[in-house]
Structure 1
Amino acid sequence: MHRRTFLTSVAGLAVTSVVGALVAIDKSSKSASAMDMGDMNMGGMDMGGMDMGGMDMGGVSNPRAEGMPVLPEGQPLRELPRLANQSGEVGLFRANLAAEPAIVRFAEGLDTRVLLYNGGNPVIEAREGDRIEIDFRNGIPDQPTTVHWHGMPVPADQDGNPTVPVAAGASQRYVFDLPQGSAAPYWFHPHPHGHTAEQVYRGLAGIFLVKPEKDPIPAEYGDTILMFTDLRLAADGSIPENGMMDRMNGRVGDHVLVNGEKNPVLAVAKGEKRRLRLFNATNARFLRLNFENASMVLIGTDGGLLEAPVALDELLLAPAERAELVVAFDQPGPAKLTTLDYERGWMGPGKPEEAGMTLLTANISDSPAPAMPALPAKLREIAPLPAPVKSRRFVLSESMSGMSMAFQINGASFDMNRIDEVMKRGDVELWEIVNKADMDHPFHVHGTQFQIVEYEKDGKVTKAPYRSWKDTVNVVSGQTVRFLIRQDMPGQRMYHCHILEHEDLGMMGLLDVQA
């Protein structure tokens, strides 16, 4: 449904329904598959001439407003904690993982209740060919959860999808093997239907690095993880629940953090090159990035290295996407990783200011770095997927029925008990993702990686600029994206929008991969 139609429909609601939302909105179910517009507080929206500007729709607050917490900046970039391998056996990674409440201090004098894995956002590092055994415990009171190994080629029953929840207080052992050719920057996060968005914005996320047997990127470049998360704090240090605008647009916080810090600093020498792995672990924030006073080269995406490096002036990371860069710091002085404006579509008031944030500052010294080896011109081979045996079409849309709004795929909201698509294991298919909604939607498929073929908008077709493996692709409003995909393991897999509020509100489907 187009935004203009949506706003016109909402404008017809009675004033009493709007005012009643001031009480009802905070009591609405976080696990519903549709938003009740009768409970909607329409602050700041033009309601057919009525000025509703004084009402709060749970939108983005201003962190510099009086009384709002101010986060410290300029601390050294912290390394995320590593999950220790408890196995002494070569080729086996075994560890314990728990999702639990914790208290952290983002702002001075304020305690914030969060959810963390083993007290933090850990990094699991393993190698192609390794066997993984993770004993997971759900320590979240009164909520189910899962651990979804985002983008990883794992068996369907080990994928942590919402059909196999782990109850509060219960445990689950995840066991899978990492096949050859699977080296890539993955991540993991919860995926319980109706609770995913909340558990992620409260802090649950971790990194899973699968390393190759032989890495073509020079070791002298290092291997630096930058995990972007999105934080909203109330004046008392608490994390507010989602409001109506969050459910409509996806939650965008007041602070973008890097490894849990605001604008940390990285010390580098003149002429130094760094390998940076970027992870967008936010619920809904699109990050259009550039590096002032430094040059960027893209070397990898969600599914690992490209065939050859690609020079960049800027990079767009949609929610859940990853990218690997080599950044050259050739001029002394500060080099800032900053955000540019990005129009991803916004419904209603409270559109956040996306441009002008400094996420990371690299301080480049006058002292020259030791001579660094050149980046290889060839990184690896990516075999093209063969011609598809079948095509499928998925239409992303918003829908209103009476006073309820839902986010849908092919006209339907997610139903745990309904199989939406059936696919044969090993078959290559062409999937066509059509975005008829008013905002961008990052589309994610579980259990495999795909190869983008082309983009189409307003009748203009653009081929993919390079071959790569992806598990998440941003589909711009009004755009169609076509990609080739193959599932190599049987079982039930999810496909969905990775704006997590939209996923919880129904923009998800269930694929049955048959042997």
Structure 2
Amino acid sequence: MLKINRRKFIILTAASAVTTSAVGWAIAQNKKTPFNSQTSSKLHKSANGLLELDLEASLNSLNLGGKQAYLLSYNGQVPAPRLEAKPGDTVRIRFTNNLSQPTNLHYHGLHVSPAGNADNPLLNIPPKERLIYEFTIPKNHPSGTFWYHPHHHGMVAEQVFGGLAGLLIIRGELDEIPEIKAAKEEFLVLQDFGLDGNGNIQPPNHMTMMMGREGQILTVNGQINPNLSIAKGGLLRLRIVNASPSRFYRLALENHPFYLIATDGGGLDTPVELKELLLSPGERAEVLVRGEREPSQYRLWNLPYDRGGMGMMGDGMGMMGGGMGMMGNSSQRNPQVLVTVTYQGSVSRLPLPQKLIPVETLPEPKAVRGFELSMDM
């Protein structure tokens, strides 16, 4: 019997949750519409308690690192338009599926109903069909960084790897803290893509279906190594989402620590200093960066990360050799630059916030349950 510990189980489930299905790769059959990849994602904000927009899923062509690529997109944008709302707002999305596959929408991390036409992963929207999504964000909903993407069973990884992903921001108490409000805010959507010689998304093989695909092209906001700026003495607030279906991002900013202020679960009570930030697929985080170094250019690195492998041969070589293991390690062997941060200008020194959001202490458990996990083979 092959035993698995908690760490390996988490890695396995995180990867398998977004592993591509055996459904035939039908994306190339979609209509290809050109658009400008350098156009920043459009922002849709709620007004008078309503966030309302039209959203279309389709296949489009764009320039990706000097190469013509055919990616899936919402409203012709990779990443998709950014949505912003507040607790108590109603969200109404008139969705059109112009893919050749069925799809739907999921609002990752939102505390809203999974029933009806709200955040229902069981909805099936066939090609050329439309559906109006509508739900109300609870008045006590925490602020935070969330995202939306397809969640049609059997096609999630395929469509997310194709490019379908966008930010969904809930504004609230964290945004009103003076030091955070004074910080320069940037949004980073991390996506990787694998293209064939014609610029189409590479179909998965049997090994990548088991391991989870990692694309050789790493992008931030649809660009390769874009530039961000920070003022000397200032604060930079980075709101980051890992929108890659299988890749883990191990982030480090050259000569700068991160100050973690929020995670998937919302704001922290105090900033936490980190040298590195690890984001698994679908994970979000918010960090502050202080402009306290010599004015220059600094690189935001994605460091190599071993996704783990259970190994099948007892010698660390795994099923395919080379240390791949059953699930496979990352294909990345060297650090890769994601973003270049450049000092521009100066401001009076902004301090870090001392207090953030009160976090309630979890109550003592009233019941204890035990689980034994087994993977007999």
TM-score normalised by structure 1 residue count: 0.59
Q: Does 1:97 align with 2:75?
A: no
User: Among residues 102, 108, 111, which one is paired with 1:150 in the alignment?
Assistant: 108
Change in 2 beyond 3 A, CA 1:278/1:393: farther
Q: Which residue of 1 aligns with 2:69?
A: 112
Give the Cα–Cα distance (whole angstroms) in 2 for the partners of residues 82 and 395 of structure 1: 46
Give the Cα–Cα distance (whole angstroms) in 2 for the partners of residues 317 and 384 of structure 1: 25
Give the Cα–Cα distance (whole angstroms) in 1 for the partners of residues 63 and 374 of structure 2: 39
Q: Which residue of 2 aligns with 1:81?
A: 42
SS at match of 1:116: strand
Give the Cα–Cα distance (whole angstroms) in 1 for the partners of residues 375 and 94 of structure 2: 39
User: Among residues 325, 329, 354, which one is paired with 1:377 in the alignment?
Assistant: 354
Query: 2:21, 2:155 within 8 Å by CA — same for their partners in 1?
Result: no
Residue identity opposite 2:189 in structure 1:
M
Q: Which residue of 2 aligns with 1:250?
A: 212
Alpha-carbon distance, 1:210 to partner: 0.2
Query: 1:139, 1:169 within 8 Å by CA — same for their partners in 2?
Result: yes
Q: Can you list the C-alpha shifts for 1:266-303, whole angstroms capped at 9, x where unaligned?
A: 23332221000010000111111111122210000013
Q: Which residue of 2 aligns with 1:360?
A: 339
Q: Which residue of 1 aligns with 2:314?
A: none
Matches within 5 A, 1:86-485: 90-108=48-66, 110-120=67-77, 121-141=80-100, 143-157=101-115, 158-179=117-138, 180-212=140-172, 215-216=176-177, 217-331=179-293, 332-346=295-309, 348=320, 351=329, 352-365=331-344, 367=345, 369-388=346-365
Alpha-carbon distance, 1:84 to partner: 5.9
Change in 2 beyond 3 A, CA 1:379/1:106: same
Rg (Cα) greater in structure: 1
Residue identity opposite 2:352 in structure 1:
L
Query: 1:96, 1:136 within 8 Å by CA — same for their partners in 2?
Result: yes
Change in 2 beyond 3 A, CA 1:188/1:260: same
TM-score normalised by structure 2 residue count: 0.79
| Runs of 5+ unmatched residues, structure 1 | 5-27, 33-76, 401-515
Change in 2 beyond 3 A, CA 1:398/1:239: farther
SS at match of 1:111: strand
Residue identity opposite 1:30 in structure 2:
A
Give the Cα–Cα distance (whole angstroms) in 2 for the partners of residues 94 and 280 of structure 1: 25
Identity of aligned residues (%): 35
Give the Cα–Cα distance (whole angstroms) in 2 for the partners of residues 3 and 242 of structure 1: 28
Aligned residues: 327
Residue identity opposite 2:307 in structure 1:
R
Q: Which moved more, 1:93-102 or 1:153-162?
A: 153-162
Give the Cα–Cα distance (whole angstroms) in 1 for the partners of residues 373 and 193 of structure 2: 28
Give the Cα–Cα distance (whole angstroms) in 1 for the partners of residues 172 and 94 of structure 2: 24
Give the Cα–Cα distance (whole angstroms) in 1 for the partners of residues 3 and 332 of structure 2: 20
Alpha-carbon distance, 1:388 to partner: 4.4
Give the Cα–Cα distance (whole angstroms) in 1 for the partners of residues 86 and 45 of structure 2: 14
Residue identity opposite 1:308 in structure 2:
T
SS at match of 1:219: helix
Q: Can you list the C-alpha shifts for 1:329-367, whole angstroms capped at 9, x where unaligned?
A: 3222221111223222146357412541111111225x5
